[in-house]
Structure 1
Amino acid sequence: MQTSQEPLGSLSATLRQRFAQIGPVWGSDINAHRDLVICAYSPLVAAARDAGASFEAARDVPYGSHERQRLDVFVSEETRRKGNADVVLFVHGGAFLRGSKSFNGLIYDNVSRWFARQGCVALNVEYRLAPEASYPAGADDVAAALAWAHAHVVEFGGDPRRIYLVGHSAGGSHVASYLCDPLFAGLRDGENASAVAGAVLISARLAADVFADNPNAAGVRAYFGADESRYAARSPLTYAEHFDTPLMVVVAEYENPYLDAYGAAFFERVLLARQRAGDARAKRAPRFMQMLRHNHTSVVAHFDSGETLLGDAMLDFFGG
């Protein structure tokens, strides 16, 4: 497979032009635009999947009792044999109401498969959905998946002290809540505290809102509740100053409304808190990356398609 660090570099010129057209109006019909993006990347991801070695080590491993508390493990035989590998725990999006770890057998497997190609142990996590599972259930599931990883990744060649949490969209909200919401302070200080080596929040919903132009307002209500007066107290952005984990924030140029602003605000608050602290936390500044020409879906759908810009930046963050 040819690789490129150019944004949208694995797509044809025709598709790049189509993406440029839908980008500025992304929020006007996110479902249709999402489907277009998935259709564009799925053949490329399928070709990469079918070429070369297999990386699927285990499917639908339970980390809890609910039918959706399942994860897949991706790792190469070489990584498994060598051991001490970085672990990437990926939590997919879906507006709190939908989504799965393997949307069409390709997306979001592509994220984990790409990191497995790079010598990581990659975990693709599914979690409970609203309205059955409302706040803070998503972060509870992140905590449970992390506990499973801490106990078992060594069996697959992973280093339990080098686990990176990566969340996209609603999954990013759950990762961020686990890492900074005071509700989880006890868990963060427990036996898994040293396991989280860093976090990457990709197009994450870091503040709950039901504005008129929020196309996923129904999902916000279903997860965070009908009482809007409680949204601030349940939003990761409110507790950004408590985020002690090495952090990388990623947004797309064309986002679901406000998610780029929330990501930038979260980054700023974490950065200022670390600068004010003047202690060891300030020695590693958070990172911020805007993926030009990408949209809310392509920012993850492009993994394992040939474009490596974001993946390479994340690997650099892991090694930093």
Structure 2
Amino acid sequence: MSDSTRPAVPASLTALLAEIGPTWGQNVPANVKRMAEEFSKIHASAPPTTRVTRDIGYGPHERQQFDIFHPENATPGHPLVIFIHGGAFTEGHRNRNEYIYSNVSHYFARHGMSGINMNYRLAPESRFPGASQDIATVVQWARDNAAAHGWSADRIFLMGHSAGGAHAASYAYDKRIHGAAGPQIAGLMVISGRVRADLLPENPNAKKVAAYYGDNASKLDDMSAVSHVSADSVPTFIAMAQYENPLIDLYCTELAYRLAQVKRHTPPLLWVRGHNHSSMVGHINTAEDGLGAALRAFIADPS
């Protein structure tokens, strides 16, 4: 599916994705950096016009800030999508650069929704479940301020990528984190999420996982988001790339299977051919709209 109003992903970049994809996991940091650079060029060729309110604080820590992306022609009671960036639990920023990851929130604003792009506290300063507690604070802020901004408090969605997917899923599924009131969101979108904590040799970010979850392997299952799904878990959309950081595709598949087991039907699940862990979010708001259209369909009918 394509969107002719947005810049296309050039054939040269599509070829690059195919070239580095099979060896993606051998040098994740360099590949992530390359993808941010390449997709920023595309977004820079057609700068968005969305009105953005930046640097809203939601706590005393310097990282407890978010930006709001305002849709131009929204109807009252429209959805809000809160995006949680990745960064292997120890790094990352809602504005990796001028275009990444704001492209995600610009995309939703173009389609009549509000967007929040949030930072959260990082390990090792903040350990499990600190990042998910930050999400809880932002969700409550979004509910409290829904009327002032025009979105519906009953149509708040979380979208997390990579470590952000783990943090969002822990908030959504783990009753110890969201509390007796429940997560109070309409749905969760996990994009290439490391929803199981592991210290396996296959994981190039195992030390960073330990910085957030600790190095006691016997406790990791209980801290993993995937371990807390239940029959009443929020509607969930799951997407993964053909070329993922090691083990992430396994964990996304495990999440889909566990949700299917307890809910007795399969959640929306998308495997995106030709893309890698970083291009999954980098290509959002380009002419290539397959993932974006699937996300919008889920938001319209989160089941």
Partners of 1:176 and 1:152 lie apart in 2 by 23
Count of residues in Structure 1 that have an aligned counterpart in Structure 2: 298
| Contact preservation (8 Å) 1:167, 1:175 | yes
The aligned counterpart of 1:239 is: 228
Establish whether residue 313 from structure 1 lines up as the match of residue 302 from structure 2: no
Corresponding residue of 1:172: 165
The correspondence of residues 1-320 of structure 1 with structure 2, limited to 5 A, is 3=3, 10-50=8-48, 53-56=49-52, 58-79=53-74, 82-189=75-182, 193=183, 195-241=184-230, 244-275=233-264, 285-320=266-301
In structure 1, stretches of 5+ residues that fail to align are 276-281
Length-normalised TM-score, structure 1: 0.89
Task: Measure the CA separation in 2 of the matches of 1:292 and 1:131.
Answer: 34
- Give the match's secondary structure for 1:135: coil
SS in structure 2 of the partner of residue 311 of structure 1: helix
Report the AA paired with residue 208 of structure 2: G
Q: 1:93 touches 1:99 (CA, 8 Å); kept in 2?
A: yes
Give the C-alpha shift of residue 153 in structure 1: 2.9
User: 1:243 & 1:23 partners in 2: Cα distance?
Assistant: 37
Cα deviation for residue 305 of structure 1 reads: 2.2
Conservation of the 8 A alpha-carbon contact between 1:48 and 1:305:
no
Following superposition, the deviation at residue 242 of structure 1 comes to 5.5
**Cα–Cα, structure 1 residues 10 and 311, in superposed 2: closer, same or farther, change >3 Å?**
same
Structure 2: give runs of 5+ residues left out of the alignment: none
- Partner SS state of residue 183, structure 1: helix
**1 CA distance for matches of 2:283 and 2:224?**
28
Q: CA deviation at 1:243?
A: 5.6
SS in 2 for 1:90: strand
Structure 1 Cα separation of the partners of residues 47 and 140 of structure 2 = 29
Shift of residue 233, structure 1, vs aligned partner: 1.0
Maintained 8 Å contact 1:179/1:188: no
Between the aligned partners of 1:102 and 1:153, the Cα distance in structure 2 is 24
One-letter identity of the residue aligned with 1:245 = V
Q: Deviations over 1:132-181 (max 9, x none)?
A: 00001011011011011111132222111100110000110011101112
CA contact (8 A) 1:150 1:160 kept: yes
Shift of 1:18: 1.4
Q: CA deviation at 1:185?
A: 4.8
Offset at 1:269?
0.6
Distance in 1 (CA, whole Å) between partners of 2:33 and 2:72 is: 34
CA RMSD of aligned residues (A): 1.6
